[in-house]
Amino acid sequence: MSDDPVQSTPWWLELGAQACDFCQRTFHYEAIYHCVHCDRPICPFCMMEIRESREVTCSECHEEDT
């Protein structure tokens, strides 16, 4: 096992080519979520899960629902 922190970082935490519309962080396309209400792409850091239905929403649609 290497002591290099770059090598031990999981791929989904590394910078990717996709940019989040909400926070502007870059992430990998494979880690993308889509809001069930507006269908916008959401990064894993910004997505909000509705516990009862386990659906994923963006922060804007989540605020409208509450």
Q: Which domain holds residue 44?
A: 11-65
Count of domains forming the chain:
1
Can you give the pTM of this predicted structure?
A: 0.68
Is residue 33 included in any domain, yes or no? yes
pLDDT for position 5: 53
Beta strands, E only, 1-66: 18-19, 26-27, 33-34, 41-42, 48-50, 55-57
**Tokens read off for 5:** 């922190």
pLDDT confidence tier of residue 39, bands split at 50, 70 and 90: very high
SS3 percent helix, strand, coil of the chain, rounded to 5, is 25, 20, 55
Is residue 40 included in any domain, yes or no? yes
> CA torsion, points 41, 47, 50, 56, in degrees to nearest 10?
20
User: What mean pLDDT is reported for the chain?
Assistant: 83
Is residue 6 included in any domain, yes or no? no
Per-residue pLDDT for 66 more than 80? no
pLDDT for position 31: 84
> CA torsion, points 24, 59, 9, 29, in degrees to nearest 10?
-70
Is residue 2 included in any domain, yes or no? no
Q: What is the CATH number of the domain that holds 17?
A: 3.30.40.10
Mean pLDDT of 22-30: 86
